[in-house]
């Protein structure tokens, strides 16, 4: 069985490599960038993801996976074509399906045999129906084409392990033919398979992401109230976590969620509901709380310092979460912009996100891969990402190296007592 995958981002590349890892012997990943393709053939991943490069090298050497820019060769004799391209948000919050439509047009002109087309990208409900109709109307050859929905549930930073050890595999199909093919594809993973129709599978993805986003925003909202009434959000979260109906995950307060999924998917589902004459009040609230939360810490600092003008400000962590180089919708971005607009001299630390940060801030800030260098002679320090390097850092250095040991922690990396005992002026979230 030949499996072609359009797109080599977090979803497409990880999916392709993991399919090869479980034993599929004819997987080809397609990208328009030749330089990127050449690097992948050499075992170099275009994204930072643990374990990915070693599996790329292993399965490429075994001949199970290949990379190409030639969509005609990739698609023409494929049994399955998986679409894993981006669906970025438009200015109105709706999902941009241009990349999916481009792939669909290429498929229609290239396939020479009966093919199952699988959309792995996060797409609005009804997209599979529309893309199936489009491909069938534009087919060059007389072949059978059917669409299936197969959303991913991986997290950046743990994408490989999330794929190989998924809690469930969701497939949305409209025929036994499509169901049987996908069950055969995923049988080697030995994971629970949830079979629905296509619209339900599309909704499962949005509903799952938006529920988690809502959970984060709820905890951040409660954290803000904790500060006002003198409660500790970590104690509150611990007490809540013992209730199996709530669970322990996504209860950590901070300065909001970011990344490629939660911000985009909450806005897309809210837009879809509005477009159909319905208001998702809970999702709307999650979006509003998150946007406000991102700047909560820097605004708190603004009330405690006379001015940021001329201040050396250390920012620790740039990516939206640890173990990834992704800065999409990262809270660090509006915070750094806020500081720059007020005249601050920003020195930023991140172990892997600097190159992507340079695409955003260029030379307006100073970059370093050393926490020591970032905080040296700094007037104030903001923690934006809970990298293990920050969690395990010798906190005595904040007092010895900073001009003033003033730390604002957006991820609650340290205990209040430890920072107080070390003589550090310390502010966090919900404590």
User: Is 230 within 8 Å of 236 (Cβ atoms)?
Assistant: no
Q: What is the 3-state secondary structure (H, E, C) of the chain?
A: CCEEEECCCHHHHHHHHHHHHCCCCCEEEECCCHHHHHHHHCCCCCCCCCCHHHHHHHHHHCCCEEEECCHHHHHHCCCEEEECCCCCECCCCCECCHHHHHHHHHHHHHCCCCEEEEECCCCCCCHHHHHHHHHHHCCCCCCCEEEEECCCCCCCCCHHHHHHCCCCEEEECCCHHHHHHHHHHHHHHCCCEEEECHHHHHHHHHHHHHHHHHHHHHHHHHHHHHHHHCCCHHHHHHHHHCCCCCCCCCCCCCCCCCCCCHHHHHHHHHHHHHHCCCCCHHHHHHHHHHHHHCCHHHHHHHCCCCCCCCCEEEEECCCCCCCCCCCCCCCHHHHHHHHHHCCCEEEEECCCCHHHHHHHHCCCCEEECCHHHHHCCCCEEEECCCCHHHHCCCCHHHHHHCCCCEEEECCCCCCHHHHHHCCCEEECCCC
User: Is 340 within 8 Å of 330 (Cβ atoms)?
Assistant: no
Among candidates 391, 354, 352, 323, which has minimal Cα distance to 155? 323
- The distance of Cα 17 from the centroid of its chain, to the nearest Å, equals 18
Pairing outcome for strands 65-68 and 145-149: unpaired
Instruction: Please list, in sequence order, all residues whose beta carbon lies within 8 angstroms of the beta carbon of residue 170, skipping any fewer than 6 positions away.
Output: 149, 150, 151, 153, 193, 194, 196, 201, 204, 205
CA distances from 204 to 6, 74, 258, 283 (A): 22, 30, 20, 15
- Please list the active-site residues: 261
């Amino acid at each position: 069985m030949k499996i072609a995958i359009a797109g080599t981002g977090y979803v497409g590349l990880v999916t392709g490599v993991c399919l090869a890892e479980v034993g599929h012997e004819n997987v080809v990943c397609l990208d328009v960038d030749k330089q990127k393709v050449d690097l992948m053939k050499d075992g170099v991943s275009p994204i930072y993801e643990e374990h990915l490069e070693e599996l790329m090298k292993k399965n490429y050497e075994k001949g199970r996976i290949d990379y190409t820019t030639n969509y005609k060769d990739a698609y023409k004799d494929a049994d399955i074509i998986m679409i894993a391209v981006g669906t970025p948000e438009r200015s109105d919050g709706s999902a941009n399906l241009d990349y999916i439509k481009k792939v669909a047009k290429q498929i229609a002109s290239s396939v020479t045999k009966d093919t199952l087309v699988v959309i792995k990208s996060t797409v609005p409900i009804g997209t599979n129906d529309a893309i199936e109709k489009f491909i069938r109307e534009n087919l060059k050859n007389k072949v059978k084409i059917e669409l299936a929905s197969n959303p991913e549930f991986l997290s950046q930073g743990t994408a490989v392990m999330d794929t190989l050890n998924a809690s469930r595999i969701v497939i949305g199909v409209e025929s036994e033919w499509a169901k049987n093919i996908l069950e055969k594809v995923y049988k080697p993973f030995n994971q629970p398979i949830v079979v629905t129709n296509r619209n339900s599978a599309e909704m499962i993805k949005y509903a799952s992401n938006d529920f988690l986003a809502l959970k984060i925003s709820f905890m951040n909202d409660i954290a803000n109230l904790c500060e006002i009434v003198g409660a500790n959000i970590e104690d509150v979260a611990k007490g809540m976590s013992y209730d199996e109906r709530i669970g322990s995950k996504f209860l950590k307060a901070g300065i909001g969620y970011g990344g490629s999924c939660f911000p985009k998917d909450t806005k897309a589902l809210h837009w879809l509901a509005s477009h159909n004459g319905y208001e998702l009040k809970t999702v709307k609230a999650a979006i509003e709380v998150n946007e406000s939360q991102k700047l909560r810490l820097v605004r708190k600092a603004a009330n405690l310092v006379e001015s940021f003008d001329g201040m050396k400000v250390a920012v620790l962590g740039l990516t939206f979460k640890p173990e990834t180089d992704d800065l999409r919708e990262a809270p660090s971005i509006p915070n750094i912009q806020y500081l720059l607009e007020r005249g601050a001299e920003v020195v930023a630390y991140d172990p892997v996100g600097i190159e992507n940060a340079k695409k955003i801030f260029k030379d307006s800030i100073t970059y370093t891969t050393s926490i020591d260098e970032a905080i040296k002679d700094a007037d104030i320090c903001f923690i934006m990402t809970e990298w293990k390097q920050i969690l395990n850092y010798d906190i005595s250095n904040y007092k010895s190296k900073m001009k003033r040991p003033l730390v604002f922690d957006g991820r609650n990396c340290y205990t209040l007592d430890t920072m107080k005992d070390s003589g550090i002026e310390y502010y966090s979230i919900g404590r």
